[in-house]
Amino acid sequence: MQCRIAGFMTLFSIVSMTFTIPCFAQEDTLIIKTPQVEQAEKIIGLEFTPSERDSMLDDLNYNLGFYEDLREVPVDNSVSPAFIFNPLSSGVKPETRQNSIVYSPVGEIERPKNIEDLAFYSVRELAELIKTRKATSTELTALCLDRLKKYDPQLHCVITLTEELALKQAARADSEIAAGNYRGPLHGIPYGAKDLLALKGYKTTWGAMPYKDQMLDCDATVIKKLEQAGAVLVAKLSMGALAWGDVWYADTTRNPWNPKKGSSGSSAGSASAVSAGLVPFAIGTETWGSIVSPSTVCGTTGLRPTYGRVSRAGAMALSWSMDKIGPICRTVEDCAIVFDAIRGSDSIDLSVINAAFNYNYDIDITSLKIGYLKEDFEKDTLFAKQNRATLNKLRELGANLIEIKLPDLPIDPMQIILSAEAAAAFDELTRSNRDDLLVRQIKNAWPNSFRASRFIPAVEYIQANRIRTVLIAQMAELMAHIDVYVSPSWEGDNLLLTNLSGHPCVVLPNGFDDEGEPTSITFMGRLFDEATVLAAAKIYQDATDFHKKHPPLFK
């Protein structure tokens, strides 16, 4: 028996194609029946009439067969959907003319008597020592490897040491620099990478038990770009399993300021290792707070770039329209240095938009239009004292703070975009029941989230993305009137909203709470204007010394 699908399927008859599917003559022969439809209506928040339910049955059963056919095709996590998210609103174009980057003067840096003292030097300071050959990359690399081995038992921030590779890269850097071939400020500088970035010859575990022995036969683009800059990879650092929190398959990554607590995540090891002076900088990722949150509790400085600034090729996908890769460092300017090395397209990640990065530290804060989220600052009781001090310091520096409000849209409900994409990214894990291998099996964890997200209707996912388009347009209108704005790091809608809209941010320490643990402030920038938001954040950081304080147990 044959029948045709009406409506959109008429295209097939126009081109003389016949779409053949089984017709179900009676309801008792169907897999999905009327009572199941009636129950499913409660899940999607709709109510249909008995005749409407009856009419749906054939289509619902056809679709079930389609799902089964599609599942026969193996789809790797690296395969992105056939659509590309663009954070730019209509008529908005990023600057493409590249000027010379201007970093602040570093001055003359002397080598300390005790090489251990270099553990908390900034990238800029270490670069000057290497450039002037007062220290070697091999020395710095050995220092980092020693500290990683010494302190990892307390912090659980390392998944894999890349010692053999690191020593080889360091020796090459020293040889090149001795021959007068200095590549730039990252040449010979050791670093760590979140273990969702692929590296040939080493495991890429994604922090999760089902993938703890996974070997990927490629190098992530970010890893390649850092190698081209001369940086030395010393470790693949821990991450919350599949980019959630600080719990991974072997342990919980600890906060150097209080090792009894977790480091937050999911860039858990990256923030912990930088904070404890185990590496000068590390690479993290953010989908919804995974750079901002661990940087806050560990007292590091992090840059979450604009969506589409940094290629994610070779990185684990969680949400194709929200994932971003950025640096976690000791200072704002270190973030600028690392970002300049990793930005730009690679012809693989088609979401990347090439734009200029015209960073210049020498910016007049009085010339900037700086907004602030007054209502969020008033509501933030967690960091209230530190926030007030931050706003006062900015005013002392000459900033004219302008009260602003974010778009009034249902931001929290739009998290279904992330939920649906994450469930798709790990569809096979759910269907195979290997999600049972993940350590965290509570309600508020990936296994349950992936399962629940299977019930998000495709229509609602698309509708959420249409509202996202409205959000992008409203944010474009807001940012047309200001250069940057400051926000509490955790209060209100800002964190999720700007991860949805793709805007860049710099998170940096702004004090300590009553328990002596770090707090933070967030500077937000225009799309593709990391240069201005970094320069503004640097002015504040240079006027404070919170970033120069380090956890006592690791000095």
The structure tokens 């295209």 sit at 11
The rounded distance, in Å, linking the Cα atoms of 119 and 147 is: 9
Specify which residues 457 forms β-bridges with.
none
The confidence score (pLDDT) of residue 9 equals 34
Structural domains of the chain sorted by starting position, each given as residue range(s) with its CATH number in brackets: 7-70 (no CATH), 115-409+460-554 (3.90.1300.10)
The structure tokens 């072997």 sit at 250
The rounded distance, in Å, linking the Cα atoms of 328 and 298 is: 11
- Give CA separation, 477 vs 89, 92, 355, 414, 503, in Å: 9, 10, 20, 20, 13
The contacts of residue 175 (CB under 8 Å, 6+ apart) are none
3-state secondary structure 163-218: HHHHHHHHHHHHHHHHCCCCCCCCCCCEEEEECCECCCCCECCCCCHHHCCCECCC
The rounded distance, in Å, linking the Cα atoms of 236 and 268 is: 12
The confidence score (pLDDT) of residue 27 equals 67
Task: Determine contact, residues 199/223, Cβ cutoff 8 Å.
Answer: yes
User: Among candidates 365, 369, 393, 389, which has minimal Cα distance to 377?
Assistant: 389
- Give the pLDDT of the chain (555 residues) as one tens digit per residue: 333 333 333 333 333 333 344 454 466 778 999 999 999 999 999 999 999 999 999 999 999 999 999 999 999 999 999 999 999 998 889 999 999 999 999 999 999 999 999 999 999 999 999 999 999 999 999 999 999 999 999 999 999 999 999 999 999 999 999 999 999 999 999 999 999 999 999 999 999 999 999 999 999 999 999 999 999 999 999 999 999 999 999 999 999 999 999 999 999 999 999 999 999 999 999 999 999 999 999 999 999 999 999 999 999 999 999 999 999 999 999 999 999 999 999 999 999 999 999 999 999 999 999 999 999 999 999 999 999 999 999 999 999 999 999 999 999 999 999 999 999 999 999 999 999 999 999 999 999 999 999 999 999 999 999 999 999 999 999 999 999 999 999 999 999 999 999 999 999 999 999 999 999 999 999 999 999 999 999 999 999 999 999 999 998
User: Cβ of 90: how many Cβ atoms within 10 Å?
Assistant: 8
The contacts of residue 187 (CB under 8 Å, 6+ apart) are 127, 130, 131, 137, 173, 176, 177, 229, 230, 231
The C-alpha angle 255, 260, 262, rounded to 5 degrees, equals 45
- 475 by DSSP, 3-state: which? helix
Task: Determine contact, residues 302/271, Cβ cutoff 8 Å.
Answer: yes
Measured distance between the N- and C-terminal CA atoms of the chain, rounded to whole angstroms? 78
Structure-block tokens of residue 346: 């690679």
Helices vs strands, H then E, count in the chain: 18, 13
Q: What are phi and psi of 19, to 5 degrees?
A: -95, 110
The rounded distance, in Å, linking the Cα atoms of 461 and 304 is: 25
Specify which residues 508 forms β-bridges with.
521
Residue 326 one-letter amino acid: G
The structure tokens 């990683």 sit at 148
Q: What sign does the CA torsion over 38, 44, 47, 50 have? A: negative
The structure tokens 């990879």 sit at 233
Task: Determine contact, residues 263/295, Cβ cutoff 8 Å.
Answer: no
Q: β-pairing, 190-194 with 282-286?
A: parallel
- 428 by DSSP, 3-state: which? helix
Q: What are phi and psi of 190, to 5 degrees?
A: -70, 155
The rounded distance, in Å, linking the Cα atoms of 308 and 352 is: 4
The confidence score (pLDDT) of residue 92 equals 87
Q: What are phi and psi of 158, to 5 degrees?
A: -110, 130
Structure-block tokens of residue 192: 């760590």
The rounded distance, in Å, linking the Cα atoms of 366 and 401 is: 10
The structure tokens 């389609």 sit at 66
Helix axes 494-501, 458-479, angle to 10 degrees: 100
Task: Determine contact, residues 233/245, Cβ cutoff 8 Å.
Answer: no
User: Among candidates 268, 281, 199, which has minimal Cα distance to 237?
Assistant: 268
The confidence score (pLDDT) of residue 10 equals 35
The confidence score (pLDDT) of residue 29 equals 79
DSSP 8-state secondary structure symbol assigned to residue 260: E
The confidence score (pLDDT) of residue 14 equals 31
Residue 72: which H helix or E strand, with range? none
